[in-house]
């Protein structure tokens, strides 16, 4: 029986890997081990997700914690290698584009263990983003590349990846969303936070370009205060975003802003419920761009680009960069009924991507 390592490290990985593990388990053809690098280590950023998604406890926990990109990547390399040497898996399955994704793929490739990459081929073409570098490097050393959209296939082929390595399977994050969608749409989560369904703006921001510099935080502060003057705003605050706001003296002012609710990080079911029932979402997260597209919720993305163009061409996503005035104008247009983003579900975002990945791995690996 072939042995597969499924690697998670940061919050988005959990939703991408859970349906694949479920589908692989259902085949009865593999031994599965769950590896948690501990890149996200706070309970609300990791432990709660294992419980909510029914993944079970990790078989291996590297406990790398928070650090700079270089230090964190080095810790993962150092701690993952002995586990691979001891267990000798037949495949290391990584997801997304975080430091854990690339570091674990690199260890496997150097030890001549096959690498499978869930969510391969995404490209923003902005190498100022650490995630873009991780995507490029991971795809370059992966043996089996699972793409979420056709543009991912095209990107990989243009980069010289052999076609037989590429498998268009759809989006495993949407598998998880579909599993929880009915409950999310009927949840009382908005009311718990003092908002009415369909009558609030949900905000999620964490990227360095928005929250690590005074200039970025001033834009965020200006948008939040302007938006809260128009409708209630719910803002689950990432730990590093909160630390930046406190360091630059803006946290207290936001706490005092009427109609703005600052929330702690939320578990997946509650956050999905707030997303599903929002009037609109403001984000810099790639995963949230996908979730809003799958749910048909208008999304304003506070970035100059996206590695998920299908959310713009087929979905509800609008890229509005860092222009606060443009954001507010679009929000006003949406609230006045003058703006209607596209609302088409992308191909194969049907809740069965994990099963398609399992089918590929059975054909490639099973005895």
Residue holding tokens 């009037």?
A: 279
Catalytic residue among 167, 206, 238, 327: 206
Q: Which two tokens stand for residue 27?
A: 């085949």
Q: Is 332 exposed, middle or buried (0-12, 13-18, 19+ CB in 10 A)?
A: middle
Beta strand ranges found along the chain (DSSP E): 2-8, 30-36, 60-61, 91-95, 114-120, 144-147, 166-168, 201-204, 233-236, 260-263, 280-283, 299-301, 317-319
Per the CB < 8 A criterion, the answer to whether 327 and 300 are in contact is yes
DSSP string for residues in 131-146:
HHHHHHHHHHH-SEEE
- Angle formed by the axes of helices 353-365 and 11-27, to 10°? 60
> Is 206 considered catalytic here?
yes
Phi-psi map region of 325: left, alpha, beta (phi>0 left; psi -120 to 50 alpha): alpha
| Whole-number Å distance between alpha carbons of 347 and 71 | 38
H or E element at residue 251: helix 251-255
- Angle formed by the axes of helices 11-27 and 172-186, to 10°? 110
Per the CB < 8 A criterion, the answer to whether 279 and 201 are in contact is yes
Mapped onto helix, strand or coil, the DSSP state of residue 66 is: coil
Active-site residues, by number, are: 206
């Amino acid at each position: 029986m072939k042995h597969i390592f499924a690697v998670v490290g940061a919050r988005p990985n959990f939703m991408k890997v859970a349906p694949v593990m479920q589908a692989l388990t259902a085949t009865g053809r593999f031994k599965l081990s769950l590896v948690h690098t501990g890149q996200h280590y706070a309970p609300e950023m990791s432990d709660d997700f294992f419980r909510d998604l029914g993944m079970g406890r990790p078989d291996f926990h590297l406990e790398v914690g928070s650090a700079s990109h270089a230090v964190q990547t080095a810790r993962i390399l150092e701690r993952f290698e002995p586990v691979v040497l001891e267990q000798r898996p037949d495949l290391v399955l990584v997801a997304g584009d975080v430091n854990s994704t690339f570091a674990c793929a690199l260890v496997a490739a150097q030890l001549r263990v096959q690498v499978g990459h869930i969510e391969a081929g995404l490209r923003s073409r902005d190498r100022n983003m650490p995630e873009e570098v991780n995507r490029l490097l991971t795809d370059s050393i992966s043996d089996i590349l699972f793409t979420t959209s056709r543009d991912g296939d095209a990107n990989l082929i243009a980069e010289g990846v052999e076609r037989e390595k590429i498998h268009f399977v759809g989006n495993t994050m949407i598998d998880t969303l579909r599993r929880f969608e009915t409950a999310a749409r009927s949840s009382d989560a908005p009311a718990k936070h003092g908002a009415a369904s369909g009558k609030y703006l949900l905000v999620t921001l964490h990227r360095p370009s928005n929250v690590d510099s005074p200039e970025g935080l001033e834009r965020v502060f200006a948008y939040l205060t302007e938006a809260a003057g128009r409708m209630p705003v719910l803002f689950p605050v990432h730990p590093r975003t909160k630390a930046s706001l406190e360091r630059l003296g803006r946290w207290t002012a936001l706490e005092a802003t009427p109609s703005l609710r600052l929330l702690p990080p939320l578990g997946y079911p509650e956050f999905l419920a707030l997303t599903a029932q929002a009037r609109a979402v403001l984000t810099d997260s790639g995963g949230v761009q996908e979730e809003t597209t799958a749910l048909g919720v208008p999304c304003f993305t506070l970035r100059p680009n996206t590695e998920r163009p299908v959310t713009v061409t087929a979905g509800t996503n609008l890229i509005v960069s860092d222009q606060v005035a443009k954001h507010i104008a679009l929000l006003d247009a949406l609230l006045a009924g003058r703006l209607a983003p596209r609302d088409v579900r992308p191909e194969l975002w049907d809740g069965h991507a994990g099963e398609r990945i399992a089918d590929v791995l059975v054909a490639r690996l099973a005895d």
